[in-house]
């Protein structure tokens, strides 16, 4: 088995379904002794992983279920050639929607600030977002986030004045945006590469 935990959120993986069910029952009993309960909407027993994905494909049962953990939606996928299993980690849609709503409100408040000042502020926000979410396999969601931020900024610039509404095109805004915010790219290594590097460094 494997356990991944952060604060009071955790995921436990088992090779065999019987072990997973036994653990879930034991958790309910143990927490009940202290008057505690597992969150009913966040606690699920699902079939997931390389073996499960291959088995469901052979049996024609479709793809494995997905689950949300630490801001990512985890799903079973395949490499771009479609031959090998690949764990997909995609930014949760709800998390991105909530962040974009907060950016929209801040841009509204900064509508009449100097463009350079707003551009530098936006870069600090986008940089922090990428530092967490720029993991392998998540580029499409990074690009989607960038596109939405650009649209939000363009909308506020156009509302500064009637002249701004006529003069600011998407191409002009893109040049301004790119001047302050570099194009998105993956910043983190795959977990197996990252952990292998740590193990080798520790061995030395």
What residues of the chain score a pLDDT lower than 50? Answer: 197, 199, 201-204
What pLDDT shows up at residue 81? 77
Helix (H, G, I), strand (E, B) or coil at 82: coil
Show the DSSP H helices in the chain as ranges: 17-32, 50-58, 93-109, 115-133, 139-158, 162-167, 170-180, 191-203
| Length of the chain (residues) | 204
What was the pLDDT predicted at 164?
58
Nearest to 43 by CA among 16, 8, 85: 8
Q: How far apart are CA 125 and CA 104, in angstroms?
A: 12
Q: What is the pLDDT of residues 44-90, one digit of tens each?
A: 999 999 999 999 989 999 999 999 999 999 999 988 777 788 899 99
């Amino acid at each position: 088995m494997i356990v991944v935990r952060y604060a009071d959120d955790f995921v436990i993986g088992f090779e065999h379904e019987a072990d997973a069910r036994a653990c879930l029952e034991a958790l309910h009993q143990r927490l009940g002794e202290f008057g505690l309960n597992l969150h009913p909407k966040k606690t699920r027993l699902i079939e997931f992983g390389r073996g499960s994905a291959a088995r469901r494909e052979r049996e024609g049962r479709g793809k494995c279920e997905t689950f949300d953990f630490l801001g990512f939606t985890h799903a079973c996928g395949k490499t771009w050639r479609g031959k090998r299993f690949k764990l997909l980690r995609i930014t949760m849609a709800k998390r991105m929607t909530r962040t974009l709503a907060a950016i929209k409100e801040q841009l509204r408040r900064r509508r009449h600030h100097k463009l350079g000042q707003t551009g530098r502020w936006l870069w600090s926000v986008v940089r922090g977002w990428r530092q967490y979410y720029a993991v392998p396999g998540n580029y499409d969601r990074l690009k989607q986030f960038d596109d939405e931020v650009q649209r939000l900024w363009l909308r506020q610039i156009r509302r500064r004045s009637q002249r701004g509404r006529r003069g600011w095109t998407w191409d002009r805004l893109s040049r301004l945006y790119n001047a302050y915010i570099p194009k998105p790219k993956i910043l983190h290594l795959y977990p197996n590469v990252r952990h292998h590097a740590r193990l080798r460094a520790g061995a030395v």
